[in-house]
Amino acid sequence: MEGNRSAFRLISNSLVVLMMTCATFTLLSLINNMTPEWKPWYLAGLCFFAATERMLTWHLFQRMGVFSKEWAFSFLAEWIVIIMVVKTSVGLSHGGEVFLAEIFLWVKNFIRYFVTLEFLFALAMVTTIWVISGYFARILDEMSSEQVYKQVEISGETIEQASARERLLSLIFGTGSILIIITALMRVDLGELSLKQGISLLNAIPSLQGGGASTVLYFMLGLALLSQTQLIELHNTWSQQKIPVSRPVARRWTFYSLVFLALLTAFISIFPTSYSLGILATMQYIFGIFFGILFFGTQVIIFVILVLLDLVFILFGGTRQVIRPPALPRQLPNLPTSIPGSSGQAGWLDVVKTLLFWSIFTGIMIFSINQFLRQHHEVLDAIRKMRTTRLLLKLWQWLLWLGLVAKRGIASTLTAGTTRIRKNGGASGYEPGIINFSIRLLEPRQKVRFFYLTLIRRAGESGLARKGSQTPDEFAASMKTALPGVDTEINSLTGAFVQARYSPAPVEKESADQARSLWNRIKAALKRKKSV
């Protein structure tokens, strides 16, 4: 484990130094953007030096008592060296001869010629990097000394301080947030701010220039540092729990970290990051194409039907009609225009790119949120307990219930209708295969039988069911008892049915029409009886 810790310190320190250098580059990009005539890139080397020095000497200073004599001397010596290095770098950036001449001027007026604005700015920057590096060094030292949790006393109360790793995360992301804001500021042309005209304020800076690359690299190095610190934190936890760790864990960790970062790099390089169209305009364009295809397809189907009808018409001696086939649209719907600030009319490639971008972006967001909610059930529970969520859930359940009721209603209506039709088809003696969708298609004999059997069915629904053993005349007698006002009609319809059912004599159309009118009168009497 000691070997691992030494390797951890070396790798972690190197990563911190590189991160600080990247941060410096971002800041210098902003300065260069604001003052193009000044080339401050030498400051990156200075900050690299300051970060390295701080990471290496932090342990030495920790061993000394703060504000002790030894500490004071060391601190003073350190800062004298730093100041001299800064001044030398600033001076040499203007050229060696200029610097040499400046040295002689220090004798004349030290404050004026030594403490210049550029020197002060460089010193401030170096100091900032030195301080931040110190924070990193302290946290990494805590992690490597097997401290998982620390208890500190504040105002007499003992509280548990956030673990070293959590503080490291806060530091990385805090510093990174500042870099992001700086990089974002570089994309805004502050000198051309014009609200009246609504002109886009965005500079067309290529993505990786203007601090973009250094900021992204800062975070990549930050992730690598997180990977190293995760190993150490896990080791500390396992060590406290006295759990043995096999050697391959540490040995393979760096390799797996590199693989992970490589996967990430591939991931972010594959997916599109730019878009020039709004999502709504793109969706509108896509829907336009879809409906155009649908409309054209409908036209084709109508054309085919018309051609067939025309052929049939010709067979019956009609003249041929001229039917023109549907024409393919000459042009696709107009591509949406770019959103303000982008470059001109967008091509179809931009549409695809935009659609792909938003799909992937939305997909990643949904996946991340889903994973987050799965791992933090308390958040999901909190969302469920919210009043708005409960109302929405109730609304959703009500809609589901409505749908279910409608479905059941439709199903039961269809079942009842089908059952009724089947029952009537079996009891009425209809020839199998007749689909009684129109009485007009029936023969007179079938019509008479239909009306009589309808009478039996309706009588049954009104409580005057026919017994299986009853003959038509016996049934008629029972019907006349129940419906006294329509005796003649019942007798006539029964007679017509007996003739249609049992007699080979032909049944005329008039008999069928008469049977219909008889049935209508009996039906009215049944309705009156039912309503009573």
Nearer to other proteins, 78 or 189 (CB): 189
Candidates 461, 441, 439; CA nearest to 451 is: 439
- At residue 324, what are phi and psi to the nearest 5 degrees? -90, 135
Name the segment binding other proteins (CB under 8 A); options: 15-23, 184-192, 322-330, 419-427. 184-192
Nearer to other proteins, 129 or 217 (CB): 217
Q: Which contacts (CB < 8 Å, 24+ apart) does range 472-481 have?
A: 472/497, 472/498, 479/455
Out of 73, 106, 149, 256, name the contact with other proteins by CB under 8 A: 256
Is position 257 an interface residue for other proteins (rule: CB under 8 A)?
yes
**Sign of the Cα pseudo-torsion (78, 81, 84, 88, in order):** negative
Instruction: Return the DSSP state at 163.
Output: P
Is position 11 an interface residue for other proteins (rule: CB under 8 A)?
no
Is position 243 an interface residue for other proteins (rule: CB under 8 A)?
yes
Out of 38, 79, 106, 260, name the contact with other proteins by CB under 8 A: 260
The amino acid that residue 363 corresponds to is: G
Burial class (CB in 10 A: 0-12, 13-18, 19+), 397: exposed
Is position 192 an interface residue for other proteins (rule: CB under 8 A)?
no
Residues 132-171 binding other proteins (CB under 8 A) are 165-166, 169-170
Alpha-carbon gap, residue 176 to 197, rounded angstroms:
34
Nearer to other proteins, 198 or 468 (CB): 198
Is position 223 an interface residue for other proteins (rule: CB under 8 A)?
yes
What minimum distance in Å lies between the beta carbon of 211 and other proteins? 8
Strand-pair partners of 151: 160
Out of 101, 120, 184, 190, name the contact with other proteins by CB under 8 A: 184
Give the other-Cβ count within 10 Å of 283's Cβ. Answer: 15
Residues 338-397 binding other proteins (CB under 8 A) are 341, 361, 364-365, 367-368, 371-372, 375-376, 379
E strand or H helix at 528: helix 509-531
Out of 106, 271, 287, 401, name the contact with other proteins by CB under 8 A: 271
Out of 71, 121, 219, 358, name the contact with other proteins by CB under 8 A: 219
Is position 236 an interface residue for other proteins (rule: CB under 8 A)?
no
Residues 6+ apart with CB under 8 A from 300: 326
Nearer to other proteins, 85 or 169 (CB): 169
- Taken as a whole, the chain contains a residue count of 532
Beta carbons of 177 and 191 less than 8 angstroms apart: no
The amino acid that residue 253 corresponds to is: W
What minimum distance in Å lies between the beta carbon of 419 and other proteins? 50
Name the segment binding other proteins (CB under 8 A); options: 35-43, 74-82, 249-257, 424-432. 249-257
Candidates 458, 431, 457; CA nearest to 446 is: 431
Residues 6+ apart with CB under 8 A from 359: none
Is position 14 an interface residue for other proteins (rule: CB under 8 A)?
no
What minimum distance in Å lies between the beta carbon of 335 and other proteins? 19
Is position 234 an interface residue for other proteins (rule: CB under 8 A)?
yes
Name the segment binding other proteins (CB under 8 A); options: 45-53, 66-74, 174-182, 313-321. 174-182
Nearer to other proteins, 85 or 205 (CB): 205
What minimum distance in Å lies between the beta carbon of 20 and other proteins? 19
Burial class (CB in 10 A: 0-12, 13-18, 19+), 499: middle
Candidates 376, 497, 366; CA nearest to 444 is: 497
User: Coil, strand or helix: which one is 87?
Assistant: helix
Name the segment binding other proteins (CB under 8 A); options: 1-9, 99-107, 248-256, 475-483. 248-256
Is position 5 an interface residue for other proteins (rule: CB under 8 A)?
no
Residues 6+ apart with CB under 8 A from 364: none
Nearer to other proteins, 345 or 362 (CB): 362
Candidates 178, 184, 173, 174; CA nearest to 207 is: 184
For tokens 């007798």, the residue is: 491
What minimum distance in Å lies between the beta carbon of 244 and other proteins? 5
Is position 199 an interface residue for other proteins (rule: CB under 8 A)?
no
Nearer to other proteins, 11 or 226 (CB): 226
Is position 477 an interface residue for other proteins (rule: CB under 8 A)?
no
Q: Terminal CA-to-CA distance of the chain, rounded, Å?
A: 99
User: How many residues bind to other proteins according to rule CB under 8 A?
Assistant: 61
Out of 31, 249, 306, 427, name the contact with other proteins by CB under 8 A: 249
User: Coil, strand or helix: which one is 526?
Assistant: helix
Burial class (CB in 10 A: 0-12, 13-18, 19+), 75: middle
Residues 273-292 binding other proteins (CB under 8 A) are 273-275
Cα 512 → chain centroid:
68
Is position 198 an interface residue for other proteins (rule: CB under 8 A)?
no
Would you tell me which residues interact with other proteins (CB under 8 A)? 165-166, 169-170, 173, 176-177, 180-181, 183-184, 187-188, 202, 205, 207-208, 212, 215-216, 219-220, 223, 226-227, 229-230, 233-234, 238, 241, 243-246, 248-249, 252-253, 256-257, 260, 263-264, 267-268, 271, 273-275, 341, 361, 364-365, 367-368, 371-372, 375-376, 379
